[in-house]
């Protein structure tokens, strides 16, 4: 299996703080890879470093074997990397339709994808002209994911999709991510280990800004000692 994304030993500073001190990981094409770790380990910063929002000061990032470190954020996004930020980051002043339309990279993107998007999230079709601010938390999260599906993204970076959602909504979200992963490669940051373990085939554990372990999720599930040590749960 070829790797869609590879990160080699990146170091990232935010201000004077050395947040990532050596993160390396690989995301195989067509897989869901979970980025695991405790609070403050550097998971979101890893995503932001990939996206150029907090550019790494050292190390290399390759997307489809092409180096993208040093690219500007909008250039990285245009290569086909979609980002679903944490806290259901939609544009609340725009309607659902406008939130989707604004994500078009080429004219007609939305028309081509809307059937797929509405099959994943039927609620969005009903709410299409409602302002984003009127949506519930679960609906906002669906819209945030749907928005990343509008352009022809090859890789989706999804940050904490289950955060703050009711269990029934989390199940809906998981089903949607599972279904969309048939077409897209996903790098998923998820605190909820049960969610992550049910979705991902591979995992990477980050601790204190370093990638300390990676492999197949099936192996991690059978290794309670590692789970306890790095994730604090068994």
Partner 1 sequence: MSLSAATSSPRTRRWQPYLAPLGLFIGLAALPFVVALLSGQSPAGVLANEAGSAKFIQGLLIEIMILAIVALSYDLVLGITGLLSFGHALFFAAGAYLTGVLLKSFGWSLGATLGLVLVSAVLQALLFGVVLPRVKGITFALVTLGLSEVFYIVVQSRELGQYTGADVGLQGVPPPDFLNPTSHRLTFYLVTLIFTFAVYLFYRLFVDSPTGRVCVAIRENENRALMLGYNTFYFKLVVLVIAAITANLAGTLHALYQPVISPNIASLNAMVDILLMTLIGGLGTLTGAPIGAAIFRLLTFFLDRWFGESASFMLGVVYVALVLFVPYGIVGTWQRRGFHLAAGRRWLLGLLTGRGDG
Q: How many residues does the chain have?
A: 234
Q: Taking CB under 8 A as the rule, which mask of x and - marks residues 140-179 in contact with partner 1?
A: -------x---x----------------------------
Tell me, by CB under 8 A, how many residues bind partner 1. Answer: 33
Mark out the alpha helices in the chain (DSSP H runs). 43-50, 73-78, 96-101, 109-120, 122-126, 137-149, 167-180, 193-199, 217-221, 224-226
Phi, psi angle pair for 190, to nearest 5°: -150, 125
Question: Taking CB under 8 A as the criterion, which residues in 76-95 touch partner 1?
Answer: 77-78, 82-83, 85, 87, 89, 91-94
Q: Using the rule CB under 8 A, which residue among 2, 67, 122, 125 binds partner 1? A: 125
Q: Which two tokens stand for residue 192?
A: 């909820």
Cα angle value 10/153/39 (rounded, 5°): 45
CA distances from 143 to 76, 100, 196 (A): 22, 8, 20
Instruction: Give the nearest distance from C-beta 147 to partner 1 in angstroms.
Output: 8
Q: Using the rule CB under 8 A, which residue among 21, 58, 64, 98 binds partner 1? A: 98
Binding site for partner 1 (CB under 8 A): 51, 53, 72-74, 77-78, 82-83, 85, 87, 89, 91-94, 97-98, 100-103, 105, 110-111, 114-115, 118, 125, 128-129, 147, 151
């Amino acid at each position: 299996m070829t790797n869609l994304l590879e990160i080699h030993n990146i170091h990232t500073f935010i201000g004077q703080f050395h947040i990532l001190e050596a993160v390396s990981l690989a995301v195989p094409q067509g897989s869901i890879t979970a980025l695991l770790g405790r609070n403050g380990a550097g998971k979101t910063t890893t995503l932001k470093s990939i996206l150029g929002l907090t550019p790494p000061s050292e190390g290399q990032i390759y997307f489809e074997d092409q180096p993208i470190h040093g690219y500007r954020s909008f250039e990285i996004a245009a290569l086909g990397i979609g980002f679903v930020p944490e806290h259901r980051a939609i544009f609340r002043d725009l309607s659902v339709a406008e939130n989707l339309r604004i994500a078009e990279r080429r004219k007609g993107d939305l028309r081509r994808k809307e059937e797929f998007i509405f099959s994943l999230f039927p609620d969005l079709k009903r709410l299409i002209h409602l302002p984003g601010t009127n949506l519930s938390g679960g609906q906002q999260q669906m819209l945030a994911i749907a928005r990343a599906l509008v352009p022809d993204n090859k890789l989706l970076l999804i940050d904490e999709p289950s955060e703050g959602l009711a269990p029934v909504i989390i199940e809906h979200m998981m089903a949607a991510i599972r279904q969309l992963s048939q077409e897209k490669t996903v790098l998923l940051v998820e605190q909820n280990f049960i969610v992550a373990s049910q979705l991902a085939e591979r995992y990477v554990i980050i601790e204190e800004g370093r990638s300390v372990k990676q492999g197949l999720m099936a192996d991690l599930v059978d290794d309670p000692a590692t789970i306890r040590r790095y994730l604090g749960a068994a």
